[in-house]
Amino acid sequence: MWTIKRIILLFIVLTSTSAEAQDSLQAGTWKIKGYLSYTNSNSFDSIQNPWSIDNQFYNRLNINYFYKDFKLDAAMRNRLIYGNSMLLIPDYAHSLSKDQGILDLSWNLIQEKNLVFNAFVDRLNLQYKKEHLEIQLGRQRINWGMTFVWNPNDIFNSYSYFDFDYEEKPGSDAIRINYYTGPASSVEIAAKLDSAGQTTAALKWLINHRGYDLQLIGGIMNQTDYVAGFAWAGNIKQIGFKGEASYFIPFKKLDSRVLEASISLDYAFPNNLYLLTQVLYCDFGSNVPMNNFNEYYSSTLNAKYLSFTDWNLFAQLSYPINPLVSLSAAGIYYPGIHGYFIHPMLTYNISENLDAALLLQYFRGEFPDALGDTHLQQFNFAFFRLKWSF
């Protein structure tokens, strides 16, 4: 497996260094873009207690090669992290290098006591597109979700809203075939295989009816559940109206069935103030997925378990103060645990390709233990990020 990793890494490095020369050839066209960022992270339960401080240098490299009806995508995320997490969190470096796909394309090139450098190929696929047919094979993102924060239809590669630094979101080792039956309608079938050897396979039917995009999905997820889902996206006058729901029926009859449903509304005011609200309902039955916020915050989510409470209420306001400065504030209310999450963010455009951001995340809630007693949990996260795009 190390040989495969080295070959792929060498391919990406060589294509990135020779892209300018290749671009002039008639055989095809290269396109390369990415960014380099530095993020300082601070976490603590209260300001008077000890802080955990980490620093991360993050390089993103996206490479595309176009040749006639074919397109090759390759992308890497390289992270140099040093700080307290390596010392305080057991197996932190190992978890950082864990690859959820069938191919293990993540590895720690440097691993010391409180420093790790991880390279991860999270996109590597070949796409063929001809008239109404589109076929994509390899590591890719299969985006079946329609809402913003929680996506019950995103059964292939769910993502966490809290992971703001991973803008591209996770991918899957999969094959996807899409046939366009009209300008806004299609039939799509996809299948993936993960690192545990489990298969997720489903069919999506998308149509447009009276200005609404409507989709139906059906299949199996992780070889543990049958899944059926529905989603829509449209407008009520000037208000965006979206929603999606999925129903999971486990292969094992003793396990509980799970329903996940989400609805969102968004509106842009004339003064550029933007408002987004979303509600998530989770009917877990007896399958309560998590019993503390820290586990939820850092775990890999899937469409069956998008939260730890039955009701989840989200709201976000964003406003461009001027062309250079933007301010946003988001929050989630968890009625079942009398908890809430607050997430303000300030961004400043220093130059055309350089941005700075200050972000805060705060959670507070009451979780019951095995005896039925409740325990208060609170977490503070503060981030400062510089990002240069190229």
DSSP letters spanning 342-369: EEEEEEEEEETTEEEEEEEEEEEEEEE-
pLDDT in tens, 266-312: 999 999 999 999 999 999 877 776 777 877 887 778 999 999 899 99
Q: How far is CA 374 from the centre of its chain?
A: 31
Least confident piece of the model among 85-94, 120-129, 155-164, 285-294: 285-294
Cβ-based neighbours of 74, under 8 Å, separated by 6 or more: 8, 11, 12, 15, 62, 63, 64, 121, 123, 124
Name the more confident of 298 and 244.
244
Q: For the chain, where are the alpha helices, taking DSSP H only?
A: 2-17, 19-23, 85-88, 92-97, 293-298
C-alpha gyration radius of the chain: 22
Band (pLDDT 50/70/90 cuts) for residue 1 is very low
CA distance 388 to 390: 7
- State if pTM tops 0.85: yes
Name the more confident of 2 and 370.
370
Residue 370: per-residue pLDDT: 67
Percent of the chain residues topping a pLDDT of 70: 93
Residue 311: per-residue pLDDT: 96
Say if CB 140 and CB 123 are below 8 A apart. Answer: yes
